[in-house]
């Protein structure tokens, strides 16, 4: 495939998530695409990632310069909810589709309206990968026949450290499974912004952030990042459990989350037979 036919992609966030996603795009991974632009607050981190990719994308430290990269069609956000608030509307208004890893940002009603309105005006898409959970297709299929959805997310205390919702537990010894939050998804994503994007994704696919209930459990013996989803309704009921390995460079999230983002991009770049999407 000639360079002129490659789908050009930009990446916001050059940390562990953004680096793995960017490195998966190209002739040895997601064929038919290339990364052409990077945006990050850290010039050192951004330039290091640019230098590691072949061909080298251009690193930008300003949104305006990043969006001036003409042929870029898709922007992958791999940074944070704050980055979605800072850059999401501008990306969509520029006509680029936005792949959101920080789906918790969509729990803010004003930001949700701003992003979806910008996408409607420009014709761009907002793409939310399934992230660290499965069963999203089943939830979407029964979303109008659901009575209840609950998520129990269990992680080791170290993976929850630094979250606002974990502040009261930071200096306490946790020796057994301890519930540190129990409430609706809309509150969970505020208190654990780097930990429970799964709650946002599940609620968007199902009955919404107010009715989707979340329990966050700190367990020093957790076998990984464990997510248990239960759904009931007129259709019947289902439940599933995922035991994910934490990302080797970012224990706050699961490795599956970035793999799901890679697969979402692969589906966009290489259309064809897709099962369960």
Q: At 240, list the tokens.
A: 């599933």
The CA–CA distances, whole Å, from 254 to 103, 163, 238, 267, 270 equal 14, 16, 23, 21, 25
Helix (H, G, I), strand (E, B) or coil at 195: coil
Return the sign of the alpha-carbon dihedral for residues 3, 19, 98, 84. negative
197 with 104: CB under 8 angstroms? Answer: yes
**Neighbouring C-beta atoms of residue 248, cutoff 10 Å:** 9
215 with 192: CB under 8 angstroms? Answer: no
- Cα 190 from Cα 163, distance rounded (Å): 9
- Cα 14 from Cα 77, distance rounded (Å): 10
Q: At 130, list the tokens.
A: 């399934």
9 with 265: CB under 8 angstroms? Answer: yes
182 with 217: CB under 8 angstroms? Answer: no
Active-site residue, from 87, 227, 247, 255: 227
13: left (phi over 0), alpha (psi -120 to 50) or beta: left
State the pairing for strand pair 126-127/97-100.
Answer: parallel
Does the annotation mark 28 as catalytic?
A: no
Q: At 216, list the tokens.
A: 């966050």
**Residues that are catalytic:** 227
């Amino acid at each position: 495939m000639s360079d002129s036919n490659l789908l050009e992609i930009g990446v916001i966030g050059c940390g562990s998530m953004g680096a793995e996603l960017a490195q998966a795009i190209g002739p040895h991974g997601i064929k038919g695409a290339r990364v052409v632009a990077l945006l990050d607050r850290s010039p050192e981190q951004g330039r290091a990632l640019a230098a590691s990719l072949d061909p080298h994308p251009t690193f930008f430290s300003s949104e305006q310069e990043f969006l001036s990269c003409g042929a870029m069609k898709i922007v992958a956000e791999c940074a944070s909810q704050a980055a979605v608030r800072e850059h999401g509307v501008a990306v969509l208004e520029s006509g680029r589709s936005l792949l959101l890893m920080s789906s918790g940002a969509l729990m803010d009603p004003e930001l949700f309206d701003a992003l979806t309105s910008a996408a409607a005006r420009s014709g761009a898409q907002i793409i939310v990968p399934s992230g660290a959970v499965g069963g999203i297709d089943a939830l979407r299929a029964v979303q109008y026949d659901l009575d209840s959805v609950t998520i129990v997310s269990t992680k080791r205390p170290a993976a929850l450290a630094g979250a606002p919702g974990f502040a009261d537990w930071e200096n306490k010894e946790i020796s057994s499974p301890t519930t540190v939050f129990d409430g609706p998804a809309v509150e969970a994503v505020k208190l654990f912004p780097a930990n429970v994007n799964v709650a946002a994704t599940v609620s968007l696919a199902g009955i919404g952030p107010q009715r989707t209930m979340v329990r966050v459990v700190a367990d020093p013996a957790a076998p990984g990042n464990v997510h248990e989803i239960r759904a009931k309704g007129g259709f019947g009921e289902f439940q599933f459990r995922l035991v994910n390995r934490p990302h080797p460079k970012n224990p706050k999230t699961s490795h599956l989350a970035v793999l799901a983002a890679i697969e979402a991009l692969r589906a966009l770049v290489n259309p064809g037979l897709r099962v369960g999407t």
